[in-house]
Amino acid sequence: MPIYEFRCNKCRKLTSVLSQRYEVPKAVTCESCGSSETRLRIGAVATKVANQAKYNEDFTGKTLPFLKSKFPKEFERAGPGVSEESVAHKLNEQIGGQVDRVIDKTLKNIHDSK
């Protein structure tokens, strides 16, 4: 059963709708402000992966302003239909991977020097 997300044109909040069929709902009311001015948002597709994400959506949301200020070209390159949250998640995973490699290397050097 697909979950469709609609962004409110007034308050910019997302409303998720679980559909019993593969038909996109036509009219969706914003759960936040009650506006009927919503549009379907094209988001990421959920897939099963071997490794779980390092960062949850709450963390991604909190880092979004910083990432947009430090990596504006990444957000511009993403193109239409790609959410800012998706770009932020990808950047967080890349940065986290770099941090992990530095920590692993440092720990290995400490261990090897003993």
Torsion of CA 83, 7, 20, 24, to 10 degrees: -90
Q: In the structure, what pLDDT confidence band is assigned to residue 33 with cuts at 50, 70 and 90? A: very high
> What mean pLDDT comes out for the span 56-81?
86
Mean pLDDT highest for which of 18-22, 32-36, 62-66, 100-104? 32-36
Closest CA to 32 of 57, 17, 10: 10
Q: How remote is the C-alpha of 112 from its chain's centroid?
A: 39
Distance CA 59, CA 10 (A): 25
Closest CA to 9 of 39, 45, 50: 39
Which backbone phi and psi does 14 adopt, to 5 degrees? Answer: -100, 145
Does the pTM surpass 0.85? The reply is: no
Distance CA 106, CA 79 (A): 38
